[in-house]
Amino acid sequence: MGSGFFIDTKGVICYNKYIQKESLSALERLKAGNRDYLNAKTGVGDISPERRLQTSKNGQKPYAVILSCSDSRVIPESIFSAGIGDLFVIRVAGNVTDNHQLGSIEYAVEHLDCNLVVVLGHTRCGAVGAAVKQNGGFVKFITDEIRQAIGEETDAVKASILNVKKSVEKIERLIKKTDGLKVIGALYNTETGKVDFDL
Ligand SMILES: [Zn+2]
């Protein structure tokens, strides 16, 4: 495992991108997956019947938790070229963190041994945009949370980053530390498809 090369049943040397990625650290694997996505026209993650069967029988071992927005333009599995069993994804408008999200993260960290949690915000986020206004209904629960994170910030990108950072801080503070656990923020650009991990 690790080289990415294998010999098929006919003795032909083949290259398997999936095997190669397994040898990378979780963060490097996300970065490599995002690089592949930038040039892809369809999803390139492994969703084969073989993978489905293997993960169904043997259980899941996702390499990262992604907390992202529900925005239909932000598709974590596509953005990171991931397939079945690769990512533990939590989606909620505005990628806010409350008890349900924390419970999901805790489960993935403690029971599935995930060591990397990524809070993935994005540009042109409608939830962050709506947070500057007063909202009613159930949306209020989301926009109130975002408003606490962004304060008086009016720049859309800066506000999205502040919102991501608040979730990162909350997860770091409230989720019990396990060996090697890393919580990071990232921002997806809905135009270029690139994920910025250096916020
Ligand atoms: Zn959004």
Q: Quick one: pLDDT at residue 194?
A: 98
Per-residue pLDDT, 43: 85
- How far is it, in rounded angstroms, from Cα 93 to Cα 103? 17
> How far, in Å, from the CA of 180 to the mean position of ligand 1?
29
Q: Helix 99-111 and helix 156-174: axis angle, to 10°?
A: 60
115-139 pLDDT, tens digit each: 999 999 999 999 999 998 878 899 9
41-84 tens-digit pLDDT: 988 899 999 999 999 999 999 999 999 999 999 999 999 999 99
What is the per-residue pLDDT for 4?
Answer: 52
Predicted confidence band at 1 (pLDDT cuts at 50, 70, 90)? Answer: very low
pLDDT score recorded for residue 17: 54
Q: Are 129 and 190 in contact (CB under 8 A)?
A: no
Return mean pLDDT, the chain.
91
Q: How far is the CA of 198 from the centre of ligand 1 (A)?
A: 19
CA distances from 125 to 66, 92, 98 (A): 17, 12, 19
Q: Would you place residue 16 in the very low, low, confident or very high pLDDT band (cuts 50, 70, 90)?
A: low
Is the distance from CB of 16 to CB of 53 less than 8 angstroms? no
Distance 110 CA to ligand 1 centre (A): 28
Instruction: Please report the pLDDT score of residue 3 as a whole number.
Output: 44
Q: Once rounded to an integer, what is the mean pLDDT over residues 161-183?
A: 94
The percentage of residues in the chain with a pLDDT greater than 70, rounded to a whole number, is: 89
Distance 34 CA to ligand 1 centre (A): 19
How many angstroms separate the alpha carbon of residue 185 from the centre of ligand 1?
14
> Under CATH, which number does the domain 5-196 receive?
3.40.1050.10
d(CA 166, CA 96): 9
With a cut of 80, say whether residue 183 has pLDDT above it: yes
